[in-house]
Structure 1
């Protein structure tokens, strides 16, 4: 009988712990995220969406900006997963590299701008909680973001080179097949 009472208490205790966590999220992080999303959307509306898009299109011409600033701004303004739509401003040969850089930016941006990828925030907060015992969480967030910029730039460049190599290889095969048909 005692074992049934313990199992019952443990079972309901699991749901009580979940409810406590849920209430903490609803009264803590959820209002913060809603405020951040509203502020960023208001900022975009104040600047004018067309201006934001024109600026992004101009920036894609530059190699370094294409794989650092553009992924950062797209994740900041559009958040995950809408940030990938900024790929429409790039030439076809740069889209895969942009996607690779952007998918890598959705993690490091969270420390300073939690609205950008709310789902990742819970992972970051777990890491930050451990870091808070030995250091400053803001310091962690900045280091996380700087490391992210380095990684996304490298990934964008490497993916672009691989894409060019594979495209040339594919063109070569297409020419061989075309010659054989003729």
Structure 2
């Protein structure tokens, strides 16, 4: 009988893994999923109220200047379209700005989840991992969320400008006209 203990322990561990996964799933079903559905509904309603044409016109305006192109445009694209549809806002930009916009938008997918989990629900585990540590230390969560959000905006602006310059440098070097 003593020889079966490792097998029994392994079986208990194996089923325990799935039980733990089930508990996490139930927590999502009663916790974050209803929040995500309500947030998505709210942003779709806002888009319908404001009008897609106005949002598109604003996106074109925001694409004119580097500071708005690499902060406001990725923010709005993730809020209104969520990941991965957010990258389609690049259609409002000149070809030379598209790689940098993509870099900014994809880099903002994690920080935006702090305040707007609907924007990139598939990556909530990153923020929740950080959040778990903050909760264990009994520190305020709202401060973390706001800092995460704001630092993310600064980082995507820097990344956008740097990527734009690298893109232009490489295009010139290879004789590619980006328009």
TM > 0.5 fold call? yes
Aligned mate of 1:17, from 9, 20, 29: 20
Mapped partners of 1:90, 1:136: distance in 2: 39
Q: Is 1:38 matched up with 2:41?
A: yes
Gap change, CA 1:7 and 1:71, over 3 Å in 2: same
Residue 111 of structure 2: aligned partner: 108
Residue 179 of structure 1: aligned partner: none
Cα offset, 1:9, TM superposition? 2.4
Spell out the pairing of 1:62-73 with structure 2 (5 A cutoff).
62-73=65-76
Q: Is the 8 A contact 2:110 2:126 kept in 1?
A: no
Residue 143 of structure 2: aligned partner: 139
* 5+ residue gaps, structure 1: 173-182
Indicate the larger mover: 15-24 or 151-160: 15-24
SS for the counterpart of 1:99 is helix
SS for the counterpart of 2:64 is coil
Aligned mate of 1:171, from 158, 171, 175: 175
- The TM-score normalised by the length of structure 1 is 0.90
- The TM-score normalised by the length of structure 2 is 0.91
Give every structure 1 segment of 4 or more consecutive aligned residues whose post-TM-superposition deviation is greater than 3 Å.
none
Aligned mate of 2:165, from 161, 164, 167: 161
Q: Is the 8 A contact 2:78 2:105 kept in 1?
A: yes
Cα offset, 1:167, TM superposition? 1.4
Larger Rg: 1
* 5+ residue gaps, structure 2: none
Cα offset, 1:114, TM superposition? 0.5
Mapped partners of 2:96, 2:12: distance in 1: 59
Mapped partners of 2:173, 2:11: distance in 1: 64
Cα offset, 1:16, TM superposition? 1.6
Map Cα deviations across residues 58-95 of structure 1 (whole Å, 9 max, x no partner).
11111210111001110111110000000000001100
Indicate the larger mover: 119-128 or 74-83: 119-128
Alignment: residue pair count? 172
Mapped partners of 1:8, 1:93: distance in 2: 56
Mapped partners of 2:8, 2:108: distance in 1: 49
